[in-house]
Amino acid sequence: MGPFVALENQPTLPEGQSAARSGVSAEGFRVALICMPFGSVTRPSIQIGLLAAIAEQAGFETDPHYFNIDLAAQLTPVTYEALCEQGRHMTSEWLFAPAAFGPGNEGDEDAYFEAFPEDEEWAKSIGKDRAFLVELRRQTLPCFVDRCLESVDWSRYRVVGFSSTFQQNVASLALARRIKERYPQVITVMGGANMDGEMGPEYVRSFKFIDYGVVGEGDVVFPSLLRSLALDERNPNLPGLVANTASGVVVNGGAVPIRELDALPTPNYDSYFERAIGLGLLPYYRTSWTLPFESSRGCWWGEKHHCTFCGLNNLGMAYRSKSPQRVLNELSSLAARHRITSFTAVDNILDWKYVPEVFLQLDQMKADYQFFYEIKANLTRQQIQTLYRGGVRRIQPGIESMSTHVLQLMRKGCNMLINIRCLKWCLYYGIHVSWNLIWGFPGETEADYQSQLEVLKCISHLQPPFCGSRIWLERFSPYYMDRESFPVRNVRPEPSYRYVYPERVDLEKAAYFFDYEMDGTLPTDAHVATQRYIAEWKKCWESDQRHTLKYRRIPEGVLIDYNWGPERRGTYTLFGALGLIYEFCVETFHTASQVTAYLRSTPEGYDLPLEEVEDALNEFCRGRLMVSEEGKYLSLAIPTNPNW
């Protein structure tokens, strides 16, 4: 869901085209950019930071306002961040609904908690209760928005822009309404992922206090809009712009995606840090601060095979990446300016060329950076090593299943062995992996999940998934968009939306998450055993009794040390050919024929029959020391030797 962003044939930003150089007077034309709750305060908004830099580059004085920081200071960072992380239900949006649309009645809260009793349980998990949420909704947050209005002289601005991603929408609407009512001459603009597709035009239609919406990437259309407004052109025909006019809503299609990302300026995060430090949040956030940066947009895998459940990118799937040198320069600039060396890539997927051309360079430079990246799981051991040495410490590799058949139903382009290899070498090199197990794909079978559960039991020494759940139906995903190809039916907006927005909003157009029914999938109880095992696995992983499976190399062979619980620990000794067989399959998976050929090539020259090699490999699998699929075998033990 890229920055306050998106738009098709205008390939680059007009280099150096400021308002003055284009014949536009920007004198007295000041712009405000606003980041509202519930955006996390652990990092600045790249949407706001990038748009501020773009607007300044175009010659317009710009002031970012991070009101999410103000609320974090008011509620305490612990409570605020918990609200940011609340799950799929529109809980955080619901909390801001009275501030945006006016107070309802006491029955509104009763109906909501009756529909979503799990929210009360969630509140208890963060040390709060139902009364706290009701107080937030009816008193605290409306007063907070009032303070946002009073704390700034909005009459100073010609344009006030809101970046809305995930659960920032209703808070943004609440402040936009107040600004427009108090200062009707101020032009309000909303952009961000929540405005993509038909969502943006519907919000503009529903809320007349929004003058313009940006549908798609805003890098080109936003400064173009500012130039037009500076010339008093109120309804410019710009791709990606939705306008509220006297004659109705005018939609100019989607924005044209920018082609040359190197033309973008480095995001400006100064206002974020000034506000966070000024409100006394440095002690809390100092250790968790990370700088968002962007090295690519779109998805090179999705261009070829759009994962069936993925709703990211909408019309911006086309993959574009910055040059490696530009990435290195931007990282250097951000680190020097803010004295922070932790970075979060907002990319949907890593450009493979960055492995040798960015991370190998960072390793050779001895730069002390640390990174989070979303990445494809098809990583070799050498690539993972390079990423680690270049500073990557956290990844999200899109491991969604340990069933190759289910992965094929997803169009993931990987298999069970690839996913395990990724987890294994990330554990070895100390890279934290964020991954989930998901299910609910037409064509799945009970055998898929039975075999998956057996695989999971073999890898209890590796990092467990965060959770396991049925897939969400997201707008823009193939399952949502292509009803003819997939057996999806009874699609309707996720129920919590109707507790948030007034009836005039067409939720079929405004919602991003949907409830649905899908033929050809298994019932929920088919996954109970897997969910139970994941819970046990996570509990063990988070304790001081983690399972381990490691091997030590000795001249005579291999020693495999296993610890699968108090009653299941010990050492296997593999001498001669058995040790060579096992170690040959440590780095990656091989067939029995490849193993047989390898044994013959060793100094010992073991000339074993293929059947004997297969028997040994299968025995390793029965002992949970290996996993196999389609005649390929992967050793599961982690090397003790640190020099791989």
Whether 634 shows a pLDDT value over 70: the answer reads yes
SS3 call for 116: coil
What was the pLDDT predicted at 567? 87
Confidence category of residue 88, pLDDT binned at 50, 70, 90: low
How far is Cα 420 from Cα 417, in angstroms, rounded to an integer? 5
- Tell me the percentage of the chain whose pLDDT exceeds 70: 95
Predicted pLDDT of residue 2: 35
Q: How far apart are CA 104 and CA 498, in angstroms?
A: 13
Mean pLDDT confidence for 382-411: 98
pLDDT tens-place string over residues 461-477: 999 999 999 999 999 99
Q: How confident is the model at residue 350 (pLDDT cuts 50, 70, 90)?
A: very high
What's the pLDDT score for residue 234? 82
Query: Is the Cβ–Cβ distance between 444 and 486 less than 8 Å?
Result: no
Q: Give pLDDT, residue 18.
A: 53
pLDDT by residue (tens digit) across 334-344? 999 999 999 99
CA dist 192 and 199 (Å) reads: 11
Q: Model confidence over 550-607: pLDDT tens digits? A: 999 999 999 999 999 988 999 999 999 999 999 999 999 999 999 999 999 999 999 9
CB count within 10 Å of CB 605 equals: 8
Q: Which residue has the tokens 């193993």?
A: 595
Determine the distance from the C-alpha atom of residue 620 to the mean position of all C-alpha atoms in its chain, rounded to a whole number.
37
Rounded CA separation 627/630 (Å) = 11
Q: What stretch(es) of the chain map to CATH 1.10.10.10? A: 548-639
pLDDT at 20: 46
Fold classification of 290-541 (topology level): pyruvate-formate lyase- activating enzyme (3.80.30)
6: pLDDT strictly greater than 80: no
Q: Is the pLDDT of residue 147 over 50?
A: yes
Of 162, 128, 104, 94, the closest CA to residue 497 belongs to 94
Residue 507 · residue 493 · CB < 8 Å: yes
CATH 3.80.30.20 residue ranges for the chain: 290-541
Average per-residue pLDDT in the chain? 93
Helix axes 610-622, 592-601, angle to 10 degrees: 120
What's the CATH class of domain 548-639? mainly alpha
Contact 99, 144 (CB under 8 A): yes
Backbone angles phi, psi at 115, to 5 degrees: -75, -35
> SS3 breakdown of the chain: % helix, strand, coil, rounded to 5?
40, 15, 40
Residue pointed to by tokens 């259309």:
221
Q: Which of 282, 312, 280 is nearest to 299 (CA)?
A: 312
What is the arithmetic mean of pLDDT over 290-305?
Answer: 94
For the chain, residues classed under CATH 3.40.50.2300 are 30-85+154-261
Evaluate whether 242 touches 249 at the Cβ level (below 8 Å).
Answer: yes
Structure tokens at 635: 């050793």
Using the predicted structure, report yes or no on whether residue 364 has a pLDDT greater than 50: yes
pLDDT for residue 1: 34
pTM of the model: 0.93
Which pLDDT belongs to residue 3? 33
What CATH number belongs to 30-85+154-261? 3.40.50.2300
Give the per-residue pLDDT at 12.
Answer: 36
Q: Is the dihedral of CA 97, 102, 103, 107 positive or negative?
A: negative
DSSP sequence for 154-191: GGG-SEEEEE--STTHHHHHHHHHHHHHH-TTSEEEEE
